[in-house]
Amino acid sequence: MKFLYMVFLLLTSCAANTPEQGRMPWDDDVSCLRKELSGQASFAIAVAFCRREEDGRLLPLDLRNAPDLQQKAKEEGFNNIIYK
C-alpha cells in the first residue's frame, strides 16, 4: 500500500506542471519560455530552465516562430542562443 501511495505522489507531482518546475519533456523552446515568463521569472532564469543539453553541450533555443521572444533575447544580450 505504501508503494502505491508513493507512486501516486510521484505521478501527481509530475502532472502539476508549474512554471517553477522548468522544462517538461513535451515543451518546445517557445512554450517553455512563455510558461516560465508567465511565472514572473526573469528572462535569464527562464532561459536557464528551458535550455536543453546534448552530449554535454547546451543547445541553442529555437525561437524561429516567436519574434517577440527573439527581440527579448536580443535586448537581454542572448544573441547567441536563438535560431534565425
Quick: pLDDT tens for 8-60.
556 555 544 444 455 677 889 999 999 889 988 899 999 988 888 889 888 88
Question: Residue 16 falls within a domain, yes or no?
Answer: no
Percent of the chain topping pLDDT 70:
65
How many structural domains comprise the chain?
Answer: 1
Is the residue at 1 inside a domain?
Answer: no
Question: Which residue type occupies 41?
Answer: A
State pLDDT tens for residues 44-54.
999 988 888 88
Asked whether the beta carbons of 29 and 63 are under 8 A apart, the reply is: yes
Q: Which domain holds residue 41?
A: 23-81
Instruction: Tell me whether residue 53 is in a domain.
Output: yes
Give the C-alpha separation, 60 to 82, whole Å: 6
